[in-house]
């Protein structure tokens, strides 16, 4: 038999409130130490045990031996001219994932921030336009690995002089992976981020994206928290969506639209559809009409996103005038929609691009 593999430390953000209390009890500490730890992690955004000043030195020494404050480590960073920050994180087992923060000026000296986090290392969906989809699936992330991406960027905002409103960003689970395929870890992360004694982020400040896992959307509709749902649509016909989003072969548009309507009916919340516009592929006026027909009567909003240019890719961005024409056609047919401003194009901010670039450089 091979030698024992070195045991990984406990990641504190992986622990539920009860599990953290149990861990503190195992260390022979009084129960209130768990509350102190939770406060340091989610309120003070401590990045090390040394910063936790009201913990006894002996306890901090024990924690350093057995646990880590964060289970992700930034190893590569890119900053866009539009202030988007893209970071590649190494996990404790050596896997890597991407996350990013986008800034949205809000006036009066404050900015709003959207943190886009990953839920899996790689992805099994296999969308041909997505760099992550071409990398294959490696594993699900733990709740702590998901949470730590949010804490990292929130910490960055604070260190850069952000004010109190900046501390609570919008969080979108739209990075690497299919969030609903990692359902339990996703929901634990959401619970901790939402908890009053956790990060205390409002549920409506969080949005979960999915490629269209119908059974998981049904389950998600029954969750008590008012977290938003976004569906990556990209096509209004099965023939085209089968190519762009291969999971459509399992859950075709008829089933997907049925569960989306059920979600709206069950939750009373508007659903968002993400539609990436690819030049000459899904950006024509007849296709806008087809999309409007598909969504007619549904309480929904369409986010149109012009594809970012990717060197060597057969998927090209549309012209700006084409994007505006597509938007106008949807509006003319009374579909609520927005043409989202692409961010981070100059740093390859599309999902998985930084990871692919670093992996390629390491091989050369």
Q: Which residues are catalytic?
A: 98, 351
Residue 129's nearest CA partner among 326, 314, 336 is 314
For the CA atoms of the chain, what is the radius of gyration?
Answer: 21
Q: DSSP letter for 346, please.
A: G
Annotate 32-59 with b (16+ C-beta within 10 A) or e (fewer). Answer: ebbebbbebbbeebbeebeebeebeeeb
User: 273 near 301, Cβ under 8 Å?
Assistant: yes
C-alpha count within 13 angstroms, C-beta hemisphere, residue 262? 15
Length of the chain: 364
Tokens of residue 196, six digits: 């009053």
Tokens of residue 153, six digits: 């960027």
> How wide is the angle at C-alpha 301 spanned by C-alphas 305 and 110, nearest 5°?
70
> How wide is the angle at C-alpha 244 spanned by C-alphas 140 and 253, nearest 5°?
90
Interatomic CA distance for residues 23 and 305, integer angstroms: 45
Task: Tell me the sheet residues that pair with 89.
Answer: 74, 97
Residue 298's nearest CA partner among 332, 259, 325, 324 is 259
User: What are the backbone dihedrals phi and psi of residue 129, each rounded to the nearest 5 degrees, phi first?
Assistant: -90, -5
Long-range contacts, stretch 207-210, CB < 8 angstroms, 24+ apart: 207/170, 207/171, 207/172, 207/173, 207/174, 207/272, 208/173, 208/179, 208/180, 209/172, 209/173, 209/174, 209/179, 209/274, 210/178, 210/179, 210/180
């Amino acid at each position: 038999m091979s030698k024992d593999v070195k045991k990984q430390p406990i990641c504190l953000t992986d622990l539920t409130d009860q599990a953290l209390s149990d861990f503190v009890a195992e260390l022979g500490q009084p129960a209130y130490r768990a509350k102190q730890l939770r406060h340091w992690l989610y309120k003070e955004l401590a990045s090390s045990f040394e910063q936790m000043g009201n913990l006894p030195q002996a306890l901090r020494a024990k924690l350093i031996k057995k646990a880590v404050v964060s289970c992700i480590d930034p190893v590569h960073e890119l900053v866009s001219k539009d202030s988007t920050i893209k970071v590649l994180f190494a996990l404790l087992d050596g896997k890597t994932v991407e996350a990013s923060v986008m800034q949205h000026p809000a006036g009066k000296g404050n900015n709003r921030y959207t943190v886009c986090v990953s839920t899996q290392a790689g992805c099994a969906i296999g969308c041909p336009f997505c760099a992550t989809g071409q990398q294959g699936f490696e594993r699900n992330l733990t709740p702590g690995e998901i949470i730590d991406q949010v804490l990292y960027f929130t910490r960055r905002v604070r260190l850069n002089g952000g004010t109190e409103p900046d501390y609570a960003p919008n969080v979108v689970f739209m990075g690497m992976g299919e969030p609903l395929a990692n359902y339990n870890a996703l929901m634990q992360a959401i619970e901790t981020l939402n908890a009053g004694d956790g990060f205390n982020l409002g549920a409506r400040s969080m949005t979960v994206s999915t490629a269209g896992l119908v059974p998981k959307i049904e389950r998600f509709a029954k969750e008590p928290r008012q977290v938003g749902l976004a569906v990556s649509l990209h096509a209004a016909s099965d023939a085209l969506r089968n190519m762009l989003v291969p999971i459509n072969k399992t859950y075709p548009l008829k089933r997907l639209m049925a569960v989306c309507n059920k979600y709206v009916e069950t939750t009373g919340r508007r659903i968002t559809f993400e539609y990436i516009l690819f030049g000459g592929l899904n950006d024509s006026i007849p296709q806008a009409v087809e999309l409007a027909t598909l969504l007619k009567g549904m309480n929904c909003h369409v986010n149109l996103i012009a594809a970012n240019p990717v060197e060597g890719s057969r998927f090209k961005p549309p012209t700006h005038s084409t994007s505006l024409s597509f938007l106008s056609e949807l509006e003319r047919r009374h579909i609520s929609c927005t043409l989202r401003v692409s961010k981070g194009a100059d740093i390859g901010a599309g999902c998985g691009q930084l990871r692919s670039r670093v992996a390629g450089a390491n091989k050369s």
